[in-house]
Structure 1
Amino acid sequence: MSFKAFLFADELNQALEHLNFVNPTPVQEQCIPLLLKGRDLVATAQTGTGKTAAFMLPILQQLLAVPEQLGIARALVVAPTRELAQQVAQNTQSYGQYTGLKVACLYGGANIGPQEKALKAGVDIVIATPGRLLDHLIKGTLSLAQVKHLVFDEADRILDMGFIGEIKRIMRHLPTQRQTLLFSATIDEQVQTLVKQWLNDPKRISVDKENSAAQRVEQVFYAVDEDRKRELMSYLIGKNNWQQVLVFTRTKNMADDLAQELNKDGLATLAIHGDKSQGARDKALSQFKSGQTRVLVATDVAARGIDILDLDYVINAELPYVAEDYVHRIGRTGRAGKTGHAISLVSIDEQWLLEEIEVLLDERLTPQWLPGYEPDLTKAPKDNRKNTNKSRKQRDKKKVLNKRSSRRR
C-alpha cells in the first residue's frame, strides 16, 4: 500500500512527497489507521522502524481537522532525553512543513528563555523531556489543559531513568479525555503498570518480537580481557577501515578515557554524555554525522535519539547493567531496512551480564576468540574465588538498581 491510502490532508501529502515517502513501514501501516480513529495504542517496535511518523502523521491530520484551535497546545510527546526530543521535533517539523502548525521542543541543559518565548507565541505540538516540561508547568509558561493527544516515546527508558515521579505530576495537568499512545522497544512490568493507569482500552501492536534485538543487526561477541578491550577495538576499526563507529560505555568517565585513548591510536574520536553541555553534544554529533569524527563514544543516556541512517557499526565496549539497554544500543544500527553490525567485547567479569541479555532475548550468545586477543584463562573465576565473585556481582546489581532510580533531565 502507499501513503495515499490514508487520505491525509493535502499539506501532509505534499510533505510526504517532498520527503520521498511512498510506502509505509510495517509499524506505520498498522498504527496509522487505528490512530486516525482515535484509539489508544501500545506499540512495540525497534528503533529505526519509522515509529515517529507512525504516531505523528495521524496526530497532525487530526490537528488540521480543527483549524480554529491553531496555536493551542493540543499534542504532547514525552521523550526521555534531549537528543530524542530534538529528533522527534525535527521529524515533526518536516512532516508538518506545509501545515502552519507550530512545534516547541523543551529540554534541559538549554536556556529556558527561548523556550518560554516560543510557548508565548503559541504552539500546537509540544515535545519535551519530563524534567523541563515540569519546569514550564510549575512556572505557568505552558498549559496542557487542551491536550487531546499524548505520546510516551520510548516509555521503557522514561521509566528506567526514574522519571515516574515527574510523569505522575505531569499527568495531573492533562485532561482525562484524550488519546494516549505508548511506544516502546521493550515491555516490562513498569511499562505494563503505566498502560493500566493511563491508557483506555488500548490496541496492542507488536511489529517485532517483544524484547528482541534489531532483526537486521548481525551480532558478534568477542571474549577479551578488560585491559585489552581498547586495543582490540582499535584493531577492528583500523583493520576493517570502519569509518563511522558508535561505541557504548556504562559511565561518563569511561567514555572520556576511551575517547582519549582512541585518539592516541590515531582514530578521530569524541565522547558525549550527560556532563557535556548541549552545545558540545550537538557539535560532536554533527561532526560524527559529517565524517569529521570517526568514532563517537557515548553513554546510554546521551545516545538516545541518535538517528544516523547509514550507521553500520556499533561497539559495546562494556555490556550494559540493564539488559534492555542492549536492545536500544544495537538498535542504533540496522535502521530503515539496512543491515547493521553490533560488536560486543565481553570480559570475564561481564559473563553474568551476557547471561541477562540471553534471558531477555531468549537466545544463546556465544563469545568467540579473536587470534592474538584470546582472554587469559588464569583470570577465570575459580572455586576458591566464589565468594569474591558473588560479592562483585552483588555490587554490580546494586549499580543496576541505582541506575534505574537515578534521575536525569
Structure 2
Amino acid sequence: MQFEQTTLSKPLLRAVAALDYHELTPVQERCIPEILAERDLLVSARTGTGKTAAFLLPLLERMLAKPAPKSGTRGLILVPTRELALQIQKVFEGLAKYTPLKCGRIIGGEAFKHQVASLRRNPEFLVATPGRLVEHIERGTPDFRDLEYLVLDEADRMLDMGFAIDMHTIASSCNSERQTLLFSATLKHRGLAGVKDLMREPVSIHMAAKEDKLSITQQAVLADDVKHKQQLVLALLEEQQAQRVFVFCNTREQTRQLGNVLKYHKLNVDAIHGEIPQSERKQVMNRFRQGQLQVLVATDVAARGLDVDSVDLVINFDVAQSGDDHLHRIGRTGRAGQSGLAVTLVSASEWDRMSSIERYLKLRFERRVLEGFKATYKGPRKLKKSGKAAGPKKKKAGSAKPRGKSASTASKPPVPVKRGGDKATKGNDGFGVVKKRK
C-alpha cells in the first residue's frame, strides 16, 4: 500500500515523501488504522520493521486533526535506552517537519535543570527513559493530566532491565482515559501480564518475528577460547572486506578487550557500552553512521533502537542470551530489503544456548570454518536415540575380568592432561594461542 492511498494529512504525506518513504511496511499497514480508530494495541514486531513510524504517524495525524494549544504534554513515549530515545526523537523531527508539533526528551546523562525547562515548555510529545522520568515525577515537575497517548516501546527490554515498577509509577501518573500502545519483540514475556492491566481491551497484532528469516544469511563458527575468537573476528573482517560491521559481546569487559585488540591491529574501531557517558556514545554512533568507523564493538545496549544504514556484517562474539536478543542483534543488517550476513562464534560452553536459539527461530545456522583457524572443539558428542550420551558398553554378568598386566592397567585412573599450550583439554573451552595452520 502506498502512503498516498492513506488518509494522512498533507503535511505528513509531504514529510514521508521527503524521507523517501513510498510503501507502508506490514507493521505500519496493520497498526495505523487501529491507532486512528483509538484502540489500545499490543504489538510484537522486531527492530527495523518501521514500527516507530507505525505509531508516530497516526498519533501526529490525530493531534493535527484535534489541536489543543493550551494543554500539557499530549503524548509520552517510554523507551528502555537513551540511544532509542535519541533515535525516536530524530524520526519524530523528520515526520513532524511540516507541522507545529514538538518533541521533548527526558533521559539520563543530561542536565536535570535543562530537562525541567523543556517540560515547562509543554511539548506535545515527550520521549523518555523510565529511571530519569520517575525522578522528575517524584519532584513533581511533569504534569500528565492532559496526556492522551502512552507508548511503551521495547516493553520486554524495559522489563528485562528491571523497570517494571517504574513503568507502573509512570502509567499511574498519566490520565487514565489515555490510549495505550505497547510494542515488544515478543508478547510472551512473563512480565507483560502486569503491564497489560494498564490497557483497555487491547487489540493484539503479531508480526511473526520468529518466522521472519529476513534477508540475512546466518552462520556459526566453532571457537576454542577467547583468543581464538579474537583471531576469528580478525579473519572474518579480512575475508569479508565489510565496510560497516557490528560486533556484539555480552559483557562490558569483553567489549573493552576486543576493542583494544582490534585497535592494536590498526583497524578503525570504537566501542560502546553502559559505562560510557551518553555524550561520548552519541559521538561514536555518529562517526559510525558517517562511515568514519569500520567496526563498532558493543554490548546489547546497541542492539535495539539504533538506525544505521548499510551494515554489511554482524558478528556475535558471544552467543546472545536469548532468541529475542539474537534477533535484535542481527537486525542491524539486512535492513530495507538489503541482504546481510550474521556470524555467531560458538564455544563449547555456548553450544546449548546456540541450539536453543536455533530451535526458537526454527532454523539452523550454516556451519562455517575459516581456513587456517579451524577449532579443536568439534561440537558435543553424539547422543543415542534414548538421549543418553554414548559411552563404554557394560560388561555382561559373569564375564571374567582380564588378568595380568592389562587388568592392572585397566583399573588405573586416566593420566591427567596438562592444561595450557596450544592443546585443547577436557573441561577447557580451548587453547592459549591459536596458530594459523598451513
Task: With the length of structure 2 as denominator, give the TM-score of the two structures.
Answer: 0.83
> Which residue of 2 is the match for residue 395 of structure 1?
none
Q: CA deviation at 1:270?
A: 0.5
Aligned residue in 1 for 2:221 = 222
- Paired residues, number: 386
Determine the C-alpha separation between the residues in 2 that align with 1:258 and 1:373. 18
Alignment of 1:93-108 (within 5 A): 93-108=93-108
- Give the match's secondary structure for 2:259: helix
Amino acid at match of 1:30: R
The correspondence of residues 352-363 of structure 1 with structure 2, limited to 5 A, is: 352-363=352-363
Deviations 1:91-146 (A, max 9, x none): 01111111111101111012122221111122100111111111111122211111
Matches of 1:117 and 1:128, distance apart in 2: 15
Range that drifts further, 291-300 or 107-116: 107-116
Show the counterpart of 2:407. none
Distance 1:379 1:334, change over 3 A: closer
Percent of residue pairs identical: 38
Moved more, 252-261 or 145-154: 145-154
Task: Give the conservation status (yes or no) of the 8 Å contact 1:47–1:335.
Answer: no
**CA distance 1:250–1:5, shift in 2 (3 Å):** same
Deviation at 1:82, TM superposition (A): 0.3
- 1:379, distance to aligned residue in structure 2 (A): 9.7
**1:198 Cα deviation after fit:** 1.8
Structure 2 residue runs of 5 or longer lacking an equivalent are: 382-388, 392-413, 417-426, 429-438
Against the structure 1 CA distance between its residues 377 and 211, is the aligned structure 2 distance closer, same or farther, given a 3 Å change threshold? closer
Q: For residue 341 of structure 1, give the secondary structure of its aligned residue in structure 2.
A: strand
Question: Which residue type is aligned with residue 314 of structure 2?
Answer: V
- Three-state SS of the structure 2 residue aligned to 1:186 is coil
Structure 2 contact 311–333 (Cα < 8 Å) conserved: yes
Q: Match of 2:313?
A: 313
Structure 1 residue 261: Cα displacement: 0.1
Tell me which residue corresponds to 1:401.
none
Give the drift of 1:212. 4.4
Q: Do the aligned partners of 1:214 and 1:334 also contact (CA within 8 Å) in 2?
A: no
For residues 168-188 of structure 1, what are the alpha-carbon distances to aligned partners after superposition, in whole Å with 9 as ceiling and x for unaligned?
111210122111111112232
Larger Rg: 2
Corresponding residue for residue 211 of structure 1 = 210
Compared CA separation, residues 147 and 378, structure 1 to 2 (3 A): closer
Equivalent residues of 1:2, 1:22 under 8 A apart: yes
Q: Which has the higher helix share?
A: 1
**TM-fit CA distance, 1:220:** 0.8
Cα deviation, 1:47-92, whole Å, max 9, x if unaligned, reads 1111111000000111112213366211111111000011011101
Describe how 1:119-158 pairs up with structure 2 within 5 A: 119-158=119-158
Q: Secondary structure at the match of 2:319?
A: coil
Contact 1:321 1:353 in 2 (8 A): yes
Q: For 2:59 and 2:50, locate their aligned partners in 1 and report how far apart those are by CA, in whole Å.
A: 15
Find the counterpart in structure 2 of residue 248 from structure 1. 248
What residue number does 1:330 align with? 330
Q: How far, CA to CA, are the matches of 1:234 and 1:368 in structure 2?
A: 15
Task: Report the Cα offset of residue 201 of structure 1.
Answer: 1.7
**Deviation at 1:200?**
1.7
For residue 194 of structure 1, report the CA deviation from its aligned partner: 4.0
Residue 258 of structure 1 is matched in structure 2 by: 258
Tell me, yes or no, if the aligned pair for 2:186 and 2:324 is still in contact at 8 Å. yes
Measured in 2, the distance between the counterparts of 1:53 and 1:371 equals: 44
Partner residue of 2:197?
A: 197
TM-aligned CA deviation for residue 20 of structure 1: 2.0
Instruction: Report if the CA contact (8 A) 2:289-2:309 is conserved.
Output: no
The question of whether the paired residues in 1 share the 8 Å contact of 2:156 and 2:189 is answered with no
Contact 1:225 1:375 (C-alpha < 8 Å) held by counterparts: yes
Aligned to 2:402: none
CA distance in 2: counterparts of 1:134 and 1:84, whole angstroms: 18
User: Residue 72 of structure 2 contacts residue 145 of structure 2 at CA under 8 Å; is this kept in 1?
Assistant: no
Moved more, 177-186 or 248-257: 177-186
Amino acid at match of 2:219: V
Instruction: Give distance in 1, aligned partners of 2:124 and 2:228.
Output: 52
Residue correspondence of structure 1 range 110-121 to structure 2 within 5 A:
110-121=110-121
CA contact (8 A) 2:235 2:370 kept: no
Alpha-carbon RMSD? 2.2
Find out whether 1:64 has 2:64 as its counterpart. Answer: yes
Sort the Cα spacing of 1:290 and 1:124 in 2 relative to 1 into closer, same or farther, 3 A. Answer: same
Can you list the C-alpha shifts for 1:8-36, whole angstroms capped at 9, x where unaligned? 22221221222222221111111111111
Work out the CA distance in 1 between the residues paired with 2:36 and 2:368: 48
Task: Write out per-residue CA displacement over residues 150-176 of structure 1, whole angstroms, 9 at most, x where no aligned residue.
Answer: 111111111111110111111210122
**Partners in 2 of 1:196 and 1:80 — Cα distance?**
18
> Structure 1, residues 267-324: CA drift from partner, whole Å, max 9, x if none?
1110100100111101111111112111000000244322112112111000122332
Structure of higher RCO (CA pairs closer than 8 Å, 6+ residues apart):
1
| Normalised TM-score (structure 1) | 0.89
Name 1:405's counterpart in structure 2.
Answer: none
- Deviations along 1:233-261, one digit per CA (max 9) or x if unpaired, are 11111222111101100011110110000
